[in-house]
Chains A and B, each alone.
Chain A
Protein backbone atom coordinates (compact mmCIF):
# COMPACT_ATOMS: atom_id res chain seq x y z
CA UNK A 1 0.00 0.00 0.00
CA UNK A 2 1.62 3.23 -1.17
CA UNK A 3 -0.45 5.93 0.50
CA UNK A 4 0.58 6.18 4.17
CA UNK A 5 -2.62 8.09 5.10
CA UNK A 6 -4.82 5.21 3.95
CA UNK A 7 -2.40 2.68 5.42
CA UNK A 8 -2.39 4.21 8.89
CA UNK A 9 -6.13 4.90 8.89
CA UNK A 10 -6.74 1.30 7.74
CA UNK A 11 -4.50 -0.05 10.49
CA UNK A 12 -6.34 2.02 13.10
CA UNK A 13 -9.81 0.88 12.05
CA UNK A 14 -8.71 -2.72 11.56
CA UNK A 15 -7.11 -2.85 15.00
CA UNK A 16 -10.29 -1.48 16.53
CA UNK A 17 -12.45 -3.97 14.60
CA UNK A 18 -10.25 -6.88 15.69
CA UNK A 19 -10.31 -5.70 19.29
CA UNK A 20 -14.11 -5.28 19.43
CA UNK A 21 -15.10 -8.83 18.52
CA UNK A 22 -13.96 -12.23 17.36
CA UNK A 23 -15.95 -11.83 14.13
CA UNK A 24 -14.13 -8.59 13.53
CA UNK A 25 -10.79 -10.29 14.13
CA UNK A 26 -11.62 -12.99 11.58
CA UNK A 27 -12.66 -10.38 9.02
CA UNK A 28 -9.47 -8.39 9.67
CA UNK A 29 -7.41 -11.56 9.25
CA UNK A 30 -9.02 -12.13 5.85
CA UNK A 31 -8.29 -8.52 4.92
CA UNK A 32 -4.66 -9.06 5.99
CA UNK A 33 -4.43 -12.17 3.81
CA UNK A 34 -5.78 -10.31 0.78
CA UNK A 35 -4.08 -6.93 0.98
CA UNK A 36 -0.62 -7.53 2.53
CA UNK A 37 2.44 -9.50 1.44
CA UNK A 38 1.91 -11.92 4.44
CA UNK A 39 4.72 -14.48 4.48
CA UNK A 40 7.38 -12.08 3.27
CA UNK A 41 6.41 -9.91 6.23
CA UNK A 42 6.70 -12.79 8.67
CA UNK A 43 10.17 -13.64 7.36
CA UNK A 44 11.36 -10.07 7.78
CA UNK A 45 10.02 -9.51 11.27
CA UNK A 46 11.03 -12.58 13.24
CA UNK A 47 10.23 -10.84 16.50
CA UNK A 48 6.53 -11.31 15.71
CA UNK A 49 6.73 -15.01 16.49
CA UNK A 50 8.07 -14.27 19.97
CA UNK A 51 5.25 -11.77 20.57
CA UNK A 52 2.63 -14.27 19.40
CA UNK A 53 4.14 -16.88 21.73
CA UNK A 54 3.87 -14.42 24.60
CA UNK A 55 0.22 -13.73 23.73
CA UNK A 56 -0.38 -17.48 23.64
CA UNK A 57 1.04 -17.81 27.15
CA UNK A 58 -1.25 -15.09 28.55
CA UNK A 59 -4.21 -16.55 26.63
CA UNK A 60 -3.68 -19.95 28.28
CA UNK A 61 -3.53 -18.27 31.70
CA UNK A 62 -6.73 -16.36 30.88
CA UNK A 63 -8.51 -19.48 29.63
CA UNK A 64 -7.58 -21.45 32.74
CA UNK A 65 -8.48 -18.66 35.13
CA UNK A 66 -11.91 -17.73 33.80
CA UNK A 67 -12.29 -18.31 30.08
CA UNK A 68 -12.07 -16.09 27.01
CA UNK A 69 -8.45 -17.00 26.34
CA UNK A 70 -9.02 -18.25 22.81
CA UNK A 71 -10.92 -15.13 21.79
CA UNK A 72 -8.19 -12.98 23.36
CA UNK A 73 -5.47 -14.93 21.53
CA UNK A 74 -7.15 -14.59 18.14
CA UNK A 75 -7.97 -10.89 18.53
CA UNK A 76 -4.53 -9.93 19.83
CA UNK A 77 -2.71 -12.03 17.23
CA UNK A 78 -4.60 -10.30 14.44
CA UNK A 79 -3.76 -6.90 15.93
CA UNK A 80 -0.08 -7.92 16.04
CA UNK A 81 -0.27 -8.99 12.38
CA UNK A 82 -1.69 -5.59 11.45
CA UNK A 83 1.04 -3.90 13.49
CA UNK A 84 3.69 -6.00 11.74
CA UNK A 85 2.32 -4.92 8.37
CA UNK A 86 2.36 -1.23 9.32
CA UNK A 87 5.87 -1.50 10.73
CA UNK A 88 7.28 -3.17 7.64
CA UNK A 89 5.60 -0.86 5.13
CA UNK A 90 6.52 2.35 6.90
CA UNK A 91 9.13 4.49 5.14
CA UNK A 92 11.21 7.20 6.71
CA UNK A 93 9.50 10.62 6.59
CA UNK A 94 5.94 9.34 6.17
CA UNK A 95 4.79 10.24 9.68
CA UNK A 96 6.20 13.71 9.25
CA UNK A 97 4.26 14.14 6.00
CA UNK A 98 1.05 12.84 7.57
CA UNK A 99 1.48 15.05 10.64
CA UNK A 100 1.92 18.16 8.50
CA UNK A 101 -0.91 17.13 6.16
CA UNK A 102 -3.25 16.71 9.14
CA UNK A 103 -2.26 19.52 11.50
CA UNK A 104 -0.02 21.91 9.59
CA UNK A 105 3.60 22.97 9.86
CA UNK A 106 3.65 23.73 13.58
CA UNK A 107 1.94 21.14 15.76
CA UNK A 108 1.65 18.68 12.84
CA UNK A 109 5.37 18.87 12.24
CA UNK A 110 6.09 18.23 15.90
CA UNK A 111 3.66 15.30 16.18
CA UNK A 112 5.09 13.83 12.97
CA UNK A 113 8.65 14.28 14.16
CA UNK A 114 7.91 12.56 17.47
CA UNK A 115 6.29 9.67 15.59
CA UNK A 116 9.33 9.46 13.27
CA UNK A 117 11.66 9.34 16.25
CA UNK A 118 9.53 6.62 17.85
CA UNK A 119 9.68 4.49 14.72
CA UNK A 120 13.41 5.10 14.35
CA UNK A 121 13.89 4.04 17.95
CA UNK A 122 11.86 0.88 17.35
CA UNK A 123 14.04 -0.02 14.37
CA UNK A 124 17.20 0.64 16.42
CA UNK A 125 15.92 -1.48 19.31
CA UNK A 126 15.17 -4.37 16.93
CA UNK A 127 18.67 -4.13 15.40
CA UNK A 128 20.26 -3.88 18.86
CA UNK A 129 18.34 -6.91 20.08
CA UNK A 130 19.57 -8.95 17.10
CA UNK A 131 23.15 -7.88 17.83
CA UNK A 132 22.80 -8.61 21.57
CA UNK A 133 21.67 -12.14 20.76
CA UNK A 134 24.61 -12.50 18.39
CA UNK A 135 26.97 -11.20 21.08
CA UNK A 136 25.63 -13.77 23.56
CA UNK A 137 26.13 -16.48 20.98
CA UNK A 138 29.72 -15.28 20.51
CA UNK A 139 30.29 -15.57 24.27
CA UNK A 140 28.90 -19.09 24.12
CA UNK A 141 25.90 -18.17 26.24
CA UNK A 142 22.41 -19.45 25.62
CA UNK A 143 19.42 -17.12 25.46
CA UNK A 144 17.61 -17.56 28.79
CA UNK A 145 15.02 -15.66 30.79
CA UNK A 146 17.90 -14.31 32.89
CA UNK A 147 19.41 -12.79 29.73
CA UNK A 148 16.42 -10.47 29.53
CA UNK A 149 17.63 -8.30 32.43
CA UNK A 150 21.02 -7.19 31.01
CA UNK A 151 19.60 -7.15 27.47
CA UNK A 152 16.70 -4.96 28.62
CA UNK A 153 19.12 -2.63 30.41
CA UNK A 154 21.26 -2.32 27.29
CA UNK A 155 18.21 -1.61 25.12
CA UNK A 156 16.81 1.03 27.49
CA UNK A 157 20.25 2.57 27.96
CA UNK A 158 20.75 2.70 24.19
CA UNK A 159 17.31 4.22 23.55
CA UNK A 160 17.87 6.91 26.21
CA UNK A 161 21.35 7.70 24.89
CA UNK A 162 20.00 8.08 21.35
CA UNK A 163 17.14 10.29 22.59
CA UNK A 164 19.63 12.48 24.43
CA UNK A 165 21.85 12.73 21.34
CA UNK A 166 18.86 13.71 19.19
CA UNK A 167 17.70 16.31 21.71
CA UNK A 168 21.19 17.82 21.89
CA UNK A 169 21.46 17.86 18.12
CA UNK A 170 18.12 19.64 17.77
CA UNK A 171 19.11 22.17 20.44
CA UNK A 172 22.50 22.80 18.82
CA UNK A 173 20.80 23.40 15.48
CA UNK A 174 18.55 25.95 17.17
CA UNK A 175 15.31 24.01 16.90
CA UNK A 176 12.47 25.62 18.83
CA UNK A 177 9.19 24.43 17.31
CA UNK A 178 7.47 23.51 14.06
CA UNK A 179 9.06 23.22 10.65
CA UNK A 180 8.29 23.15 6.95
CA UNK A 181 7.40 20.09 4.94
CA UNK A 182 5.52 19.84 1.64
CA UNK A 183 3.87 16.40 1.90
CA UNK A 184 3.36 14.41 -1.29
CA UNK A 185 1.46 11.11 -1.44
CA UNK A 186 1.04 8.47 -4.12
CA UNK A 187 -2.40 6.86 -4.06
CA UNK A 188 -2.99 3.68 -6.06
CA UNK A 189 -6.51 2.36 -6.83
CA UNK A 190 -5.78 -0.75 -4.72
CA UNK A 191 -5.07 1.52 -1.74
CA UNK A 192 -8.57 2.99 -1.99
CA UNK A 193 -10.16 -0.46 -2.35
CA UNK A 194 -8.26 -1.76 0.70
CA UNK A 195 -9.21 1.34 2.68
CA UNK A 196 -12.91 0.97 1.83
CA UNK A 197 -12.86 -2.68 2.89
CA UNK A 198 -11.12 -1.77 6.15
CA UNK A 199 -13.76 0.83 7.01
CA UNK A 200 -16.46 -1.67 5.96
CA UNK A 201 -15.11 -4.26 8.38
CA UNK A 202 -15.24 -1.80 11.27
CA UNK A 203 -18.73 -0.75 10.27
CA UNK A 204 -20.11 -4.29 10.23
CA UNK A 205 -18.25 -5.14 13.44
CA UNK A 206 -19.59 -2.10 15.22
CA UNK A 207 -23.26 -2.22 14.28
CA UNK A 208 -25.35 -5.09 15.73
CA UNK A 209 -25.92 -6.82 12.38
CA UNK A 210 -27.58 -9.90 13.92
CA UNK A 211 -30.22 -7.83 15.68
CA UNK A 212 -30.89 -6.02 12.42
CA UNK A 213 -31.70 -9.33 10.73
CA UNK A 214 -33.88 -10.50 13.65
CA UNK A 215 -36.30 -7.65 12.87
CA UNK A 216 -36.97 -9.15 9.46
CA UNK A 217 -37.32 -12.73 10.67
Chain B
Protein backbone atom coordinates (compact mmCIF):
# COMPACT_ATOMS: atom_id res chain seq x y z
CA UNK B 1 0.00 0.00 0.00
CA UNK B 2 1.19 3.50 -0.82
CA UNK B 3 2.28 5.51 2.17
CA UNK B 4 4.37 8.56 2.98
CA UNK B 5 5.84 9.07 6.44
CA UNK B 6 7.51 12.08 8.01
CA UNK B 7 10.09 11.27 10.65
CA UNK B 8 10.74 14.44 12.65
CA UNK B 9 10.94 16.38 9.46
CA UNK B 10 12.03 19.99 9.81
CA UNK B 11 12.84 22.99 7.70
CA UNK B 12 14.37 26.14 9.15
CA UNK B 13 14.48 29.54 7.49
CA UNK B 14 15.34 31.77 10.37
CA UNK B 15 13.15 33.05 12.07
CA UNK B 16 10.53 30.83 10.41
CA UNK B 17 10.51 27.05 10.86
CA UNK B 18 8.29 24.07 10.22
CA UNK B 19 8.31 20.62 11.80
CA UNK B 20 6.22 17.58 10.94
CA UNK B 21 5.76 13.96 11.96
CA UNK B 22 3.11 11.55 10.80
CA UNK B 23 1.97 9.10 8.17
CA UNK B 24 -0.25 9.75 5.15
CA UNK B 25 -2.03 6.61 3.94
CA UNK B 26 -4.08 6.06 0.80
CA UNK B 27 -7.02 8.44 0.43
CA UNK B 28 -7.73 12.16 0.36
CA UNK B 29 -6.11 14.28 3.07
CA UNK B 30 -6.63 17.93 3.93
CA UNK B 31 -3.72 20.03 5.19
CA UNK B 32 -5.15 23.25 6.50
CA UNK B 33 -3.32 26.31 7.77
CA UNK B 34 -3.13 30.07 7.59
CA UNK B 35 -1.50 31.90 4.69
CA UNK B 36 2.26 31.72 5.28
CA UNK B 37 2.02 28.79 7.68
CA UNK B 38 4.19 26.56 5.47
CA UNK B 39 1.71 24.58 3.39
CA UNK B 40 3.51 25.20 0.08
CA UNK B 41 6.89 24.46 1.66
CA UNK B 42 5.57 21.16 3.01
CA UNK B 43 4.14 20.29 -0.42
CA UNK B 44 7.47 21.01 -2.11
CA UNK B 45 9.29 18.88 0.46
CA UNK B 46 6.85 16.02 -0.05
CA UNK B 47 7.47 16.24 -3.79
CA UNK B 48 11.21 16.05 -3.10
CA UNK B 49 11.82 19.51 -4.55
CA UNK B 50 13.09 21.19 -1.38
CA UNK B 51 15.90 19.97 0.85
CA UNK B 52 15.08 19.14 4.46
CA UNK B 53 16.87 20.81 7.36
CA UNK B 54 16.36 17.68 9.45
CA UNK B 55 14.49 14.38 9.64
CA UNK B 56 13.50 12.05 6.82
CA UNK B 57 10.62 11.30 4.47
CA UNK B 58 9.85 7.65 3.75
CA UNK B 59 7.93 6.91 0.56
CA UNK B 60 6.46 3.42 0.29
CA UNK B 61 5.39 2.15 -3.11
CA UNK B 62 5.21 5.68 -4.47
CA UNK B 63 6.48 5.63 -8.02
CA UNK B 64 4.63 8.60 -9.49
CA UNK B 65 4.31 11.99 -7.81
CA UNK B 66 2.59 15.11 -9.04
CA UNK B 67 2.58 18.54 -7.44
CA UNK B 68 0.19 21.21 -8.64
CA UNK B 69 1.60 24.62 -7.69
CA UNK B 70 -0.69 27.37 -6.49
CA UNK B 71 -0.02 29.62 -9.49
CA UNK B 72 -0.90 27.72 -12.69
CA UNK B 73 1.17 29.98 -14.99
CA UNK B 74 4.36 28.62 -13.42
CA UNK B 75 3.53 25.25 -14.98
CA UNK B 76 3.14 26.65 -18.49
CA UNK B 77 5.64 25.23 -20.95
CA UNK B 78 3.55 25.28 -24.13
CA UNK B 79 3.24 28.28 -26.40
CA UNK B 80 -0.39 27.39 -27.19
CA UNK B 81 -3.18 25.78 -25.18
CA UNK B 82 -2.98 22.65 -27.37
CA UNK B 83 0.79 22.47 -26.83
CA UNK B 84 0.27 22.91 -23.10
CA UNK B 85 -2.19 20.00 -22.99
CA UNK B 86 0.26 17.88 -24.98
CA UNK B 87 3.04 18.71 -22.50
CA UNK B 88 0.92 16.97 -19.84
CA UNK B 89 0.37 14.01 -22.12
CA UNK B 90 -3.35 14.60 -22.57
CA UNK B 91 -5.45 15.11 -25.72
CA UNK B 92 -6.47 18.80 -26.05
CA UNK B 93 -9.94 18.21 -27.54
CA UNK B 94 -11.18 16.07 -24.70
CA UNK B 95 -9.82 18.30 -21.94
CA UNK B 96 -10.89 21.61 -23.49
CA UNK B 97 -14.39 20.33 -24.10
CA UNK B 98 -14.68 19.24 -20.46
CA UNK B 99 -13.66 22.64 -19.10
CA UNK B 100 -15.52 24.77 -21.62
CA UNK B 101 -12.50 26.11 -23.49
CA UNK B 102 -13.22 24.62 -26.89
CA UNK B 103 -11.89 26.79 -29.71
CA UNK B 104 -8.97 28.13 -27.68
CA UNK B 105 -6.49 25.49 -28.83
CA UNK B 106 -4.27 28.02 -30.59
CA UNK B 107 -4.46 30.73 -27.94
CA UNK B 108 -1.48 31.38 -25.70
CA UNK B 109 -2.06 29.84 -22.25
CA UNK B 110 -1.01 33.18 -20.77
CA UNK B 111 -3.81 34.96 -22.61
CA UNK B 112 -6.37 32.96 -20.60
CA UNK B 113 -7.77 34.44 -17.43
CA UNK B 114 -6.27 33.14 -14.17
CA UNK B 115 -9.46 31.11 -13.56
CA UNK B 116 -9.42 29.57 -17.05
CA UNK B 117 -5.74 28.72 -16.76
CA UNK B 118 -6.31 27.15 -13.35
CA UNK B 119 -9.14 25.02 -14.78
CA UNK B 120 -6.95 23.95 -17.69
CA UNK B 121 -4.06 23.12 -15.39
CA UNK B 122 -6.17 21.14 -12.91
CA UNK B 123 -7.92 19.26 -15.73
CA UNK B 124 -4.51 18.22 -17.12
CA UNK B 125 -3.28 17.17 -13.67
CA UNK B 126 -6.41 15.26 -12.72
CA UNK B 127 -6.58 13.48 -16.07
CA UNK B 128 -3.93 11.07 -14.87
CA UNK B 129 -3.48 8.88 -11.83
CA UNK B 130 -0.54 9.35 -9.50
CA UNK B 131 0.54 7.47 -6.41
CA UNK B 132 1.04 10.80 -4.67
CA UNK B 133 -0.94 13.82 -5.81
CA UNK B 134 -0.18 17.11 -4.05
CA UNK B 135 -2.55 19.99 -4.72
CA UNK B 136 -1.33 23.35 -3.43
CA UNK B 137 -4.26 25.75 -3.06
CA UNK B 138 -6.31 24.05 -5.81
CA UNK B 139 -9.35 26.22 -5.09
CA UNK B 140 -7.68 29.59 -5.55
CA UNK B 141 -8.91 31.55 -8.61
CA UNK B 142 -11.96 29.29 -8.97
CA UNK B 143 -15.55 30.41 -8.49
CA UNK B 144 -17.97 28.45 -6.28
CA UNK B 145 -19.32 26.37 -9.16
CA UNK B 146 -15.83 25.33 -10.26
CA UNK B 147 -14.80 24.60 -6.67
CA UNK B 148 -17.77 22.23 -6.32
CA UNK B 149 -16.86 20.51 -9.61
CA UNK B 150 -13.26 20.13 -8.45
CA UNK B 151 -14.40 18.63 -5.13
CA UNK B 152 -16.46 16.08 -7.07
CA UNK B 153 -13.45 15.17 -9.22
CA UNK B 154 -11.19 14.79 -6.21
CA UNK B 155 -13.88 12.73 -4.48
CA UNK B 156 -13.82 10.27 -7.39
CA UNK B 157 -10.17 9.40 -6.74
CA UNK B 158 -10.09 5.84 -5.51
CA UNK B 159 -6.38 5.09 -5.44
CA UNK B 160 -3.19 6.77 -4.32
CA UNK B 161 -2.65 9.51 -1.80
CA UNK B 162 -4.19 12.89 -2.58
CA UNK B 163 -3.20 15.77 -0.31
CA UNK B 164 -4.93 19.14 -0.53
CA UNK B 165 -3.00 22.04 0.93
CA UNK B 166 -5.40 24.91 1.39
CA UNK B 167 -6.77 27.64 3.59
CA UNK B 168 -10.18 27.25 1.93
CA UNK B 169 -12.86 26.80 4.57
CA UNK B 170 -16.16 26.62 2.77
CA UNK B 171 -16.08 24.29 -0.21
CA UNK B 172 -14.05 21.16 0.36
CA UNK B 173 -14.25 17.52 -0.71
CA UNK B 174 -14.93 14.61 1.61
CA UNK B 175 -11.58 13.67 3.19
CA UNK B 176 -10.14 10.73 5.03
CA UNK B 177 -7.98 12.71 7.44
CA UNK B 178 -7.46 16.32 8.48
CA UNK B 179 -4.09 17.87 9.25
CA UNK B 180 -3.36 21.37 10.41
CA UNK B 181 -0.26 23.55 10.54
CA UNK B 182 -0.27 25.69 13.67
CA UNK B 183 2.67 27.84 14.78
CA UNK B 184 5.18 25.96 12.67
CA UNK B 185 4.05 22.42 13.52
CA UNK B 186 1.95 19.96 11.54
CA UNK B 187 -0.75 18.39 13.70
CA UNK B 188 -2.77 15.31 12.89
CA UNK B 189 -6.33 16.23 13.82
CA UNK B 190 -7.57 12.74 12.96
CA UNK B 191 -10.52 11.52 10.92
CA UNK B 192 -13.78 13.47 10.61
CA UNK B 193 -16.01 13.95 12.54
CA UNK B 194 -13.73 13.34 15.56
CA UNK B 195 -11.12 15.60 13.96
CA UNK B 196 -13.37 18.63 14.45
CA UNK B 197 -12.58 18.62 18.19
CA UNK B 198 -8.87 19.03 17.52
CA UNK B 199 -9.08 21.27 14.44
CA UNK B 200 -8.11 24.69 15.73
CA UNK B 201 -9.28 26.60 12.64
CA UNK B 202 -12.42 24.54 12.16
CA UNK B 203 -14.66 26.22 9.51
CA UNK B 204 -17.41 28.42 11.03
CA UNK B 205 -20.15 26.36 9.37
CA UNK B 206 -18.96 23.21 11.16
CA UNK B 207 -18.67 25.12 14.44
CA UNK B 208 -22.25 26.32 14.02
CA UNK B 209 -23.55 22.84 13.20
CA UNK B 210 -21.77 21.40 16.23
CA UNK B 211 -23.29 24.13 18.39
CA UNK B 212 -26.71 23.19 17.05
CA UNK B 213 -26.08 19.59 18.07
CA UNK B 214 -25.78 18.22 14.55
CA UNK B 215 -22.11 17.84 13.58
CA UNK B 216 -21.53 16.84 9.94
CA UNK B 217 -19.92 13.48 9.22
CA UNK B 218 -17.30 15.02 6.97
CA UNK B 219 -16.37 18.38 5.43
CA UNK B 220 -18.10 18.31 2.04
CA UNK B 221 -21.14 20.41 1.18
CA UNK B 222 -23.28 17.28 1.04
CA UNK B 223 -22.26 16.48 4.60
CA UNK B 224 -23.22 20.01 5.70
CA UNK B 225 -26.60 19.71 3.97
CA UNK B 226 -27.22 16.34 5.56
CA UNK B 227 -26.40 17.79 8.98
CA UNK B 228 -28.76 20.72 8.39
CA UNK B 229 -31.53 18.33 7.37
CA UNK B 230 -30.98 16.44 10.60
CA UNK B 231 -31.64 19.64 12.57
CA UNK B 232 -34.85 20.29 10.70
CA UNK B 233 -35.89 16.73 11.48
Do B77 and A136 touch across chains, with their CB atoms under 8 A apart? Answer: yes
Are the CB atoms of A147 and B69 closer together than 8 Å? Answer: no
In the complex, the chain B residue whose C-beta lies closest to that of A132 is: B74
Known: A153-B110, A154-B110, A157-B110. A138 touches B77 (CB 8 A): no
In Å, the complex CA distance between A4 and B3 comes to: 50
Task: Tell me the minimal C-beta distance from A160 to chain B in angstroms.
Answer: 10
**B66:A138 contact, CB within 8 angstroms:** yes
Contacts of B75 in A (CB 8 A): 135, 138-139
Closest to A149 in B: B79
Q: Are B87 and A139 in contact (CB under 8 A)?
A: yes
Q: How far is the CA of A139 from the CA of B75 in the complex (A)?
A: 8
Q: Of residues 124 to 151 in B, which have CB atoms within 8 Å of A's CB atoms? A: none
Q: Mark A5-25, 1 if CB is under 8 A from B, else 0.
A: 000000000000000000000
Size bin of chain A's contact surface: 10 to 19
Q: Does B98 contact A (CB under 8 A)?
A: no
Are A141 and B77 in contact, CB atoms less than 8 angstroms apart? yes
For the complex formed, measure the closest distance between the CB of B187 and the CB atoms of chain A, giving whole angstroms: 27
Q: Binary interface profile of B, 74-89, with partner A (CB < 8 Å = 1, else 0)?
A: 1111110000000110
Which residue in A137, A147, A149, A154 is a CB contact (below 8 Å) of B73? A154
The reply to whether A135 and B110 form a contact with Cβ atoms under 8 Å apart is: no
Contact B47 A139 (CB under 8 A): no
List residues of chain A with CB within 8 A of the CB of B71.
Answer: 131
Chain A residues lying within 8 Å of B67, measured Cβ to Cβ, are 134, 138
Q: Chain A's nearest CB lies how many Å from the CB of B121?
A: 10
Determine whether B210 belongs to the interface, using a CB cutoff of 8 Å to chain A: no
Query: Is the CB–CB distance between B47 and A154 below 8 Å?
Result: no
Decide if B44 is an interface residue (CB 8 Å cutoff).
yes
Question: Is residue B99 within 8 Å, beta carbon to beta carbon, of the partner chain?
Answer: no
Q: Mark B102-135, 1 if CB is under 8 A from A, else 0.
A: 0000001010000000000000000000000000
A142 to nearest B CB, angstroms?
A: 11
* Distance between Cα atoms of A141 and B77 in the complex (Å): 9
B225 at the interface (CB under 8 A from A): no
The reply to whether B74 and A131 form a contact with Cβ atoms under 8 Å apart is yes
Of all chain B residues, the one with the shortest Cβ separation from A137 is: B49
Contact A135 B88 (CB under 8 A): no
State whether A147 and B74 are in contact (beta carbons under 8 Å apart), knowing that A134-B44, A138-B66 are contacts in the complex: no
Q: Is A158 an interface residue (CB 8 A)?
A: yes
Query: Does the CB pair B74–A154 fall under 8 Å?
Result: yes
B-contact bits for A138-175, CB 8 A (1 contact / 0 none) = 11010000010111011001100000000000000000
Decide if B47 touches A135 in the complex (CB within 8 Å). no
- The one of B47, B78, B79, B110 in contact with A138, judged by C-beta atoms closer than 8 angstroms, is B47
Which residues of A sit under 8 angstroms from B79, Cβ to Cβ?
Answer: 149-150, 153
A128 contacts the other chain (Cβ, under 8 Å)?
yes
Bound-state CA distance A150–B110 (Å) is: 10
Least CB separation from A141: chain B residue: B77
Chain B, Cβ-Cβ closest to A147 = B77
Q: Give bound CA distance, A113 to B73, whole Å.
A: 27
CA distance A132 to B66 in the complex (A): 14
| Contact between chains at B74 and A128 (CB < 8 Å) | yes
**A residues bordering B, Cβ < 8 Å?**
128, 131-132, 134-139, 141, 147, 149-151, 153-154, 157-158
Q: Which residues does B use to contact A, with CB under 8 Å?
A: 44, 47, 49, 65-67, 69, 71, 73-79, 87-88, 108, 110
